[in-house]
């Protein structure tokens, strides 16, 4: 099972903390989606948007157990769906329609996540506790 990461999971240390092992990714593009900032947060979501594309990382061969950790980390705000990424298929976490109100109409790019923001995210994100409670 493959993962397309477009936000904090693009950072190897974040993905390793969630998955439990170091994964090597390759740059990839998700067509038909837009990456937006979450209101009052430093991380993004993706939503369907024809004509748009999102740059991210493609990670191959994750296990079901690793996806259970990822599901807990991402939480109820996201739907995990399968998409085509080039010649591969991968899962991506898309903002669930019921949570659309948390997305600002402001694009997000990885260079907006400074080392300080990443540190704050890692110390404050509620998904860590939810993931750890399911281990």
Q: What is the pLDDT of residues 41-70, one digit of tens each?
A: 888 999 999 999 999 999 999 999 999 999
Predicted TM-score of the model (pTM): 0.87
Query: For 55, phi and psi rounded to 5 degrees?
Result: -85, 140
How many structural domains are present in the chain? 1
Q: What is the pLDDT of residues 94-127, one digit of tens each?
A: 999 999 999 999 999 888 776 666 666 666 655 5
Looking up residue 111, the CATH number of its domain turns out to be 3.10.490.10
What DSSP line would sit under 25-74, residue for residue?
EEEEEEEEEEEEEETTSS-EEEEEEEEEEEEEEEE----HHHHHHHHHHH
Note down the domain range covering 125: 3-133
């Amino acid at each position: 099972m493959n993962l397309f990461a477009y936000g904090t999971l693009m950072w190897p240390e974040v993905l390793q903390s969630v998955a439990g092992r170091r994964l090597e990714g390759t740059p990839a593009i998700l067509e038909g989606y837009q990456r937006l900032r979450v209101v009052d947060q430093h991380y993004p979501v993706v939503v369907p948007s024809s004509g748009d594309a999102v740059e991210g990382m493609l990670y191959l061969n994750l296990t079901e157990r690793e996806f259970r950790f990822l599901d807990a980390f991402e939480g109820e705000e996201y739907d995990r769906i399968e998409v085509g990424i080039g010649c591969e298929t991968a899962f991506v976490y898309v903002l669930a329609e019921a949570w659309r109100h948390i997305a600002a109409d402001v694009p997000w790019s990885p260079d907006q996540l400074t080392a300080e923001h990443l540190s704050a995210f890692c110390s404050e994100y509620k998904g860590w506790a939810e993931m750890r409670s399911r281990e």
